[in-house]
Copies of this chain bind each other. A is one copy, B any other.
């Protein structure tokens, strides 16, 4: 029990530090200090820094559904609205941090130039789980898209837009860049849906309060 707690403390501390400062800028000493754990315990669980990173990525993966879907889409029945609610959550993270926010998996995916294959596989697994969440929503609303729409590819595209939009908002320190990306995606969804602009998105308008906040 004691050992298990120590392991969790280390993984949580590393998760926070890798996200805040990046993987390469975080030293083992930083993790030990943050976790308040001695180095013997760390090396017992994680012989190398890469092992710690692999554990962090497993922790992200284990929480991805609960972190992504449940909080932002609570109370929403419409699956397309759920997708835009997931994106809305990233918007909140950007706004709350004055656009310093970066997505943890996306940042690691670019920071690590030649990651250990165990690490790369876990980065991909996290992306796949994210895409699965969007794919499920698209599957639930498949009657609202023409048959030729490649649902999996569209789900991947939602991730592409989220990551690219976060990157630009962060670089310009301006939420308008994220909002613009999401708006373009929304236009695309409207045009993809059966029945044009009166089709797919008719039932997916955000509540007036959220919409106002989005437009500012």
A residues lining the B interface (CB < 8 Å): 20-22, 24-25, 100, 102, 106-107, 109-114, 120, 123-124, 127, 150, 153-154, 156-157, 159-165, 167-168, 170-173, 177, 180-181, 183-184, 187-188, 191-192
> A114 — which chain B residues lie within 8 A by C-beta?
100
Question: What is the CB-to-nearest-CB distance from A16 to chain B, in angstroms, rounded to a whole number?
Answer: 12
Say whether A22 contacts B157, CB under 8 Å: no
Given contacts A113-B102, A164-B161, contact A172 B124 (CB under 8 A): yes
The CA-CA distance from A156 to B182 in the complex, in Å, is 11
Say whether A156 contacts B127, CB under 8 Å: no
* 7 interchain pairs, CB-CB under 8 A: A21-B113, A100-B113, A110-B111, A124-B171, A150-B180, A156-B168, A160-B164
The CA-CA distance from A17 to B134 in the complex, in Å, is 37
